Amino acid sequence: MTNGIGKQFMHETKPQFAEESQQHQGLPQPPLELDYDPAAHLIPLLEVGDLPAYALDLKQAMEQRKTLRSYQEHPLTLAELSFLLWATQGIKRVTSRPVTFRTVPSAGSRHAFETYLLINQVEGIQPGLYRYIALEHALLPVKQGEAINNQITTACFDQHQVRDSAVTFIWVTVLERMYWRYGERGYRYLHLDAGHVCQNLYLAAEAIQSGVCAIAAFNDDEINRVLGLDGENQFVIYLGSVGKR
């Protein structure tokens, strides 16, 4: 391209990773996933091969998808939750580099998110806060009890769909996983990545007769405090409430 716009575009898209990035400096890649107590009891999820078909024509899923903020008082099954977690962050392959390839794309396959779940109504799971351990396809209990619902709903400016959801997905960024390669530019990629994740949640939810509300209106400091995140290297980027239509 020879015109000015083309040059600008080429300039913006040329760097594959930032010159000043930690990767460029030869620093080791951050772990693929946050640590947890190895003695913790993980709740296994259903493997994708063992799930029902949840068949829905893609065209129909896109056609009927709409934001849903009122839900039936009807729980999700553990199979349905397993499906939604697989659809949003499920790992298909871990390479020797190591890098994860998942059901959603991610810039440089950095996959800088952890999924926390506010579980209110899922069959066989106590209400509370959980973290999805993607490498094990399992749930890590973080905080039991119903009080956490109130705290998270309040941090989301009292949006009732959080309180009333069967489960609310809370996507947390681990900045160093993205910045290691891309430096500051990675801040942009995080938000693009988050959109892909939530879109998969919207579409997958259609196949289990459920609906989603994407949520970006929340008090950052408050929600990070509730989740015990430092707000700098780890912070909430986006949420999605889910419930039966």
Ligand X SMILES: Cc1cc2nc3c(=O)[nH]c(=O)nc-3n(C[C@H](O)[C@H](O)[C@H](O)COP(=O)(O)O)c2cc1C
Contacting residue, 67, 109, 209, 233, with ligand X by CB under 6 A: 67
Residue with smaller CB distance to ligand X, 24 or 66: 66
Residue with smaller CB distance to ligand X, 108 or 211: 211
Residue 214 lies near ligand X (rule: CB under 6 A)? yes
Are 45 and 82 a contacting pair, CB within 8 Å? yes
**Which two tokens mark 53?**
């078909």
Residue with smaller CB distance to ligand X, 21 or 168: 168
Q: Which residue has the tokens 């952890």?
A: 114
Give the H or E element holding residue 85: helix 78-89
For 53, 181, 185, the CA distances from 28, given in Å and listed in that order, are 40, 10, 19
Judged by CB under 6 A, the stretch of 36-44, 135-143, 175-183, 212-220 that binds ligand X is 212-220
Q: Which of 56, 67, 40, 70 is CA-nearest to residue 166?
A: 70
Question: What b/e string do you get for 107-142 counting C-beta neighbours within 10 Å, with b at 16 or more?
Answer: bbebbbbbbbbbbbbbeebebbbbbbbbeebbbbbb
Residue 191 lies near ligand X (rule: CB under 6 A)? no
For 55, 56, 94, 139, 152, the CA distances from 99, given in Å and listed in that order, are 30, 30, 6, 21, 32
Judged by CB under 6 A, the stretch of 21-29, 46-54, 62-70, 120-128 that binds ligand X is 62-70
Please, what is the minimum distance in Å from the beta carbon of residue 212 to ligand X? 8
Please, what is the minimum distance in Å from the beta carbon of residue 18 to ligand X? 26
Tell me, by CB under 6 A, how many residues bind ligand X. Answer: 9
Residue 213 lies near ligand X (rule: CB under 6 A)? yes
Residue 70 lies near ligand X (rule: CB under 6 A)? no
Beta strand 138-144 with 210-215 is: unpaired
Residue 66 lies near ligand X (rule: CB under 6 A)? yes
Residue with smaller CB distance to ligand X, 219 or 234: 219
Residue 152 lies near ligand X (rule: CB under 6 A)? no
Are 136 and 123 a contacting pair, CB within 8 Å? no
Query: Residue 29 is which amino acid?
Result: Q
String of contacts with ligand X for each residue 87-126, x by CB under 6 A:
----------------------------------------
Q: Which residue has the tokens 């290691």?
A: 180
Angle of helix 147-155 relative to helix 220-227, nearest 10 degrees? 160
Residue with smaller CB distance to ligand X, 27 or 216: 216
Please, what is the minimum distance in Å from the beta carbon of residue 229 to ligand X? 19
Residue with smaller CB distance to ligand X, 69 or 196: 69
Residue 159 lies near ligand X (rule: CB under 6 A)? yes
Binding site for ligand X (CB under 6 A): 66-67, 69, 159, 213-217
